[in-house]
Chain A
Amino acid sequence: MSALEVRELSKHFSIGGALRRSHVHAVEDVSFALRPGTITALVGESGSGKTTVARLLARLYDPSSGAVLFEGSDVSHVRRRRDVLHYRSQVQIIFQDPFGSLNPVKTIRHHVERPLRIHHIVPSAQVEERAHELLRTVGLVPPEEIAAKYPHELSGGQRQRVAIARALAVEPKIVLADEPTSMLDVSIRIGILNLMVKLKEERGIAFLYVTHDLASARYVADEILVMYAGQIVERGPVEQVLAEPLHPYTRLLLAAVPDPAKRDAERIGTRKGVASAAVDPPEGCRFVSRCPLAIDVCSHVTPPLVEARPAQAARCHVTAPAPSTR
């Protein structure tokens, strides 16, 4: 059973004035499911729409179309405060920038205790005790001292742990982690990743782990979703996708990872382009201008997501042709 299911979710941002209004298709027709006790990685270049997906799921944006199914019902448009609060008590988000996601004029205590009070997780008398317990869970000791500090008194890694503690305060079933380690030092990253794995195993939390670091995705995740220009172009079990990628874009991403082993090796050739969402995109594969395998049909017909191997699907006319054309 899935903890959260996303069906054909799209988000278009309008840009420009009232007269010449056009739309950025930041997220387009995205479907996937998060399962309890698994980590699903969402990878892609910057501007490909990863953050937008995470924020849609956190109900920080309203989707343009599509549905988010939670506990059997669509929550993408609920407005009643009671329903929204219930959703927020189950689905939490961790932001990319630990330097921006904590209020600089509030203590750490405020950040961890507020969710406990809002959702009445424990009686007021126990709030402080629970807050300390949470800080201890994420490895911030001694909690009494940390709680009295202000964000600027902590290092980046410690701040990100506070952000995680805040997300865990409500005992969520689903955590959306938006590049939780990208602003942190390499030596600290592993600590955060290990914490995620531990929480998944001990509490059965379903994680969406947004990143552009494929190696860390492989390290923590069970499933992977590869995003390009607002669409999911490949999905499947992480080992399988990284070992035998179907989509040319996944191959490009893999080739771009710095790897001492490849020092002199040859690389996949690509033409330049950007992965960010297209403004009023035409029909056709969005990767076509950079794709070394492109054929005629690519620029006219948008490829569907086709399960070309067991459990592994891709959006590509060449490497994952739809059954009818096969």
Chain B
Amino acid sequence: MSQLDPTIDLPLAAPPRRVRGRIRVPGWVALLLRNRKSRAGLCMVLFMVLVALVAPLISVAHPNDFNLLAARQAPSWHHLFGTTDQGSDIFSQVVLGARRSLLLGAAAGILATGVAAILGITAAYSGGLVDEGVNFLTNVFLTIPPIPLLVVASGYLKSRGMVTMAVVLALVLWAFEARILRGQALSLKSRDFILAAKASGESTPRIVFGELMPNMISRIAAAFVLVFYIALLTDAGLEFLGLGDMTKTSWGVTLYWAQTNSTVLQGEWWPFFFPGAALAFTVLGLVLLLAGIDEVSNPRLRTERPERRRLLAALVGGRLVARAEASA
């Protein structure tokens, strides 16, 4: 994944494109919608967001209502996704669980990306002591092994609520993002338009946030999506291991109970399948979105490349296609 290579040079975020006279869609959104992968990913994620939004309306019962008479029922019209061994409705658990998963992912993503962007970009632009300080900090955080920290943190923290989890995940993941964003900011910082802004008297904060940052939108979005799905997966994983708050409704918790009660051994696949599928669907959507962002923002990954390279390999001097003239 090119996400891991901070030295790769990215084209700038695309400028806004005019759509029908007045309305302007930010250029990178238009680009994302034109890329097949990111369009599919975006649709999948938006679908989940929609489900989460209308969850209270479509959930038929309180997710933790139990009714032993209706326990262990296979999917039916009455219980779309079947019921648990306690007789709780799995459909309700899954749609309401989407709220927690998405909120947590988004919160962790915003926190980690915000910290990473502010620290990474400021460090890259200022250089010198500030840069060295931030570098030291990121290195410290990068050396902390994340999984044990998470297990310990979620095991010991009193309130194992969503906010705590989001903060812990953000703490674990920000350094990684900061390093990537710093790398890109470094390559942008020496571009002439940044120097030009400086020469016209622009102040440092304005250069960082007004001139540099808007050019990194696609990379920042990519960082956000990455943290989003890592957080989502990690959280579900921890809950599945029983390290979460077992009284709440979430995909991980449903999976945990399914596993504890060894439902599959008794031929009941649905308590596993539906929350698992919801998780897989969301993560797949996010991964596609990320792949799409990567492709759009990194011409070296564009799908037409191999074809063009093959064509040009037939020619002397055409070992690689010259960079787009615009980036000259």
Known contacts A99-B326, A103-B215, A150-B15; A119 and B192 CB within 8 A of each other: no
In the complex, the chain A residue whose C-beta lies closest to that of B213 is A105
Q: Tell me which of A87-95, A203-211, A263-271 binds B.
A: A87-95
Inter-chain CA distance A222–B200, complex, in Å, is 27
Contact: B215 with A105, CB < 8 Å?
yes
Inter-chain CA distance A81–B206, complex, in Å, is 14
When distances are taken between beta carbons in the complex, the residues of chain B under 8 Å from A150 are: 15-16
Total interface residues on B, CB under 8 Å, equals: 25
B245 within 8 A of A: no
When distances are taken between beta carbons in the complex, the residues of chain A under 8 Å from B201 are: 84-85, 88-89, 115, 118-119, 170
Picked from B195, B200, B214, B328, the residue with its CB within 8 Å of the CB of A105 is B214
Inter-chain CA distance A99–B15, complex, in Å, is 14
Total interface residues on A, CB under 8 Å, equals: 34
Shortest Cβ distance from residue B208 to the other chain A in the assembled complex, whole angstroms: 13
A101 within 8 A of B: yes
Closest 3 CB pairs of A and B: A101-B192, A150-B15, A100-B192
Q: Count chain B CB atoms within 10 A of each CB in A96, A101, A151 and give the residue with the most.
A: A101
Picked from B14, B16, B200, B215, the residue with its CB within 8 Å of the CB of A166 is B200
| Secondary structure of the B contact surface, majority rule | helix
A163 within 8 A of B: yes
A102 within 8 A of B: yes
B13 within 8 A of A: yes
Interface string of B166-202 (1 = CB under 8 A from A): 0000000000000000000000000111011111111
Interface residues of A, Cβ cutoff 8 Å to B: 55, 58-60, 81, 84-85, 88-89, 92-93, 95-97, 99-106, 114-115, 118-119, 150-152, 163, 166, 169-170, 183
Contact: A58 with B200, CB < 8 Å?
no
Shortest Cβ distance from residue A176 to the other chain B in the assembled complex, whole angstroms: 9
Inter-chain CA distance A99–B12, complex, in Å, is 12
B56 within 8 A of A: no
When distances are taken between beta carbons in the complex, the residues of chain B under 8 Å from A81 are: 203
Inter-chain CA distance A118–B15, complex, in Å, is 24
Contact: B196 with A114, CB < 8 Å?
no
Contact: B15 with A101, CB < 8 Å?
no
Contact: A115 with B198, CB < 8 Å?
no
Inter-chain CA distance A19–B195, complex, in Å, is 30
Shortest Cβ distance from residue B29 to the other chain A in the assembled complex, whole angstroms: 13
| Given A92-B200, A99-B326, A166-B200, 11 further pairs, Cβ under 8 A | A59-B199, A88-B199, A92-B199, A100-B193, A101-B196, A103-B193, A104-B193, A105-B215, A106-B214, A114-B202, A118-B200
B211 within 8 A of A: yes
Inter-chain CA distance A60–B12, complex, in Å, is 23
| Secondary structure of the A contact surface, majority rule | loop
Interface residues of B, Cβ cutoff 8 Å to A: 12-16, 27, 191-193, 195-203, 211, 214-215, 217, 326-328
When distances are taken between beta carbons in the complex, the residues of chain B under 8 Å from A169 are: 200
Contact: B199 with A97, CB < 8 Å?
no
Known contacts A100-B193, A152-B15, A152-B326; A105 and B27 CB within 8 A of each other: yes
Shortest Cβ distance from residue B30 to the other chain A in the assembled complex, whole angstroms: 13
Contact: B214 with A163, CB < 8 Å?
no
Picked from B198, B214, B215, B328, the residue with its CB within 8 Å of the CB of A97 is B328
Shortest Cβ distance from residue A44 to the other chain B in the assembled complex, whole angstroms: 20
Inter-chain CA distance A92–B328, complex, in Å, is 24
Inter-chain CA distance A232–B55, complex, in Å, is 75
Contact: B200 with A115, CB < 8 Å?
yes
Contact: B328 with A99, CB < 8 Å?
yes
Inter-chain CA distance A85–B203, complex, in Å, is 10
Inter-chain CA distance A84–B199, complex, in Å, is 10
Shortest Cβ distance from residue B240 to the other chain A in the assembled complex, whole angstroms: 42
When distances are taken between beta carbons in the complex, the residues of chain B under 8 Å from A92 are: 199-200
Inter-chain CA distance A97–B27, complex, in Å, is 23
Picked from A93, A96, A106, A151, the residue with its CB within 8 Å of the CB of B199 is A93
When distances are taken between beta carbons in the complex, the residues of chain B under 8 Å from A84 are: 201
Inter-chain CA distance A55–B190, complex, in Å, is 13
Shortest Cβ distance from residue A302 to the other chain B in the assembled complex, whole angstroms: 32
In the complex, the chain B residue whose C-beta lies closest to that of A98 is B192
Provide 14 A-B residue pairs closer than 8 Å at the C-beta atoms, listed in order of the A residue: A58-B199, A81-B203, A92-B199, A92-B200, A95-B192, A95-B196, A97-B192, A101-B193, A103-B193, A104-B13, A104-B14, A114-B200, A115-B201, A169-B200
Contact: B195 with A60, CB < 8 Å?
yes
Picked from A100, A104, A115, A152, the residue with its CB within 8 Å of the CB of B215 is A104
Shortest Cβ distance from residue A287 to the other chain B in the assembled complex, whole angstroms: 30
Inter-chain CA distance A151–B193, complex, in Å, is 11
Inter-chain CA distance A166–B200, complex, in Å, is 8
Inter-chain CA distance A92–B198, complex, in Å, is 11
Shortest Cβ distance from residue B209 to the other chain A in the assembled complex, whole angstroms: 13
